[in-house]
Amino acid sequence: MKRKTLRCLTALLTVFLLVSSLIFPGAAEEEKTQYPCKSLVLMEASTGKVLLSQNEDEALPPASVTKVMTLLLVMEAIDSGRISLSEQVTVSANAASMGGSQVFLKEGETMTVEELLKSVVIASANDAAVALAEYLAGSVPAFVEQMNKRAEILGMEHTHFENPTGLDDTAVDHKTSALDIAIMSRELISHKKILDYSSIWMDSIRDGAFGLTNTNRLVRYYPGCTGLKTGSTAKAGFCVSATAEKNGMELICVVMGAESRDERNAIAKEVLDYGYANYGLYQKEAASLVPIPVTGGMEDFCNLSHGDFSIVLPKGELSSVKETLELPDFLAAPIKSGDTVGRLRFSLDENELGSIPVTASQTVGKLTFFEIFKRLFARSLLI
């Protein structure tokens, strides 16, 4: 009788758990937040670590967020010295014919690279984007080829560009993923000058005659927002690659396929808030170390140093990181500047988080016979 009762209770418990899992999915396992957009990624910029994602590899139309790659190629050309901000660009008929967001360029009009750059970053101007593409590569097809080559180098595995603007009317299979957008956004903001433009709320071109207002409202309404690029078309929905910096940590939030501008901005704000509330950046800045003794060298000691180290961690773990310096008791000459002589390791609860090399900051030559004789002779004079 007891066994029969036990079997009945077990069966009832099983049925209860099954029904509960159907009615309350979170009762069986932790429920994952599903944001009202097609995909998203939250990435920490200095390390590239993804902190939150949803369908991050799905290839989707990116609308004007495409211009992150266009801007990257422009900034690389500027920083390498191929072009300068003050150079004059003559607008072609093709560039002037672009629809959508624009600054109404006229065929034959001249404008500086900087004015065109501001027009793309702030106002998402398609005509300015095409003018820059033609100026850099000679034609739009040649520029698009450069875009796809750069995407391949960056490891953007779910990306295929067909134009520098993201406009639907000239695209058949123009797609990228939230993760790939985060990757190219991270590369773009490594050119810090771009943030001087993307963080502007209002500006002007043509000697103040034409006003520019940032399409990214987060720049004005989200504390710490530094950019970066919005986009919206019928195919893509509402997209954004939003960058922000607070408490020494820079985040990139990519949202694709939201249903409205306000919803896109609300998602980005919520995701950025999540990142700053839950994560922090553990940083070890480059520094010099106490010199280490040297045997058989022209110098008795060798100066040491290490580079930077950073890692993103849950905020509660930041104070528990342990640093361990691994060095020999002494070094034997000869030593070349830059030689790795040890390591600085970082761990948390016996788990290694990473390490950086400790290197010689100077060259120490091997002690020669002549130098030994000279030193012995000098000592004999002191006796």
| Residues designated catalytic | 64, 67, 124
Taking CA atoms, 140 is separated from 113, 129, 149, 176, in Å, by 17, 10, 14, 19
> Which long-range contacts does 273-279 make (Cβ < 8 Å, 24+ apart)?
274/42, 274/52, 275/42, 275/44, 275/51, 275/52, 275/249, 275/251, 276/244, 276/246, 276/247, 276/249, 276/251, 277/315, 278/51, 278/314, 278/315, 279/44, 279/51, 279/249, 279/312, 279/313, 279/314, 279/315
Three-state secondary structure call for residue 75: helix
Task: Name the residue among 254, 84, 85 with its Cα closest to residue 159.
Answer: 254
Q: What angle is formed at CA 42 by the lines to CA 41 and CA 43, rounded to 5 degrees?
A: 110
Q: Which residue shows structure tokens 């406009």?
A: 167
Q: What angle is formed at CA 127 by the lines to CA 123 and CA 132, rounded to 5 degrees?
A: 95
Taking CA atoms, 274 is separated from 9, 33, 42, 105, 314, in Å, by 43, 12, 9, 41, 11
Bridge partners for 212 per DSSP: 203
* Overall residue count recorded for the chain in this entry: 383
Task: Name the residue among 186, 142, 136, 189 with its Cα closest to residue 163.
Answer: 142
The answer to whether the bond into 334 is cis (omega within 30° of 0) is yes
Three-state secondary structure call for residue 240: strand
> Which residues touch 201 (CB under 8 Å, ≥6 apart)?
213, 214, 219, 220
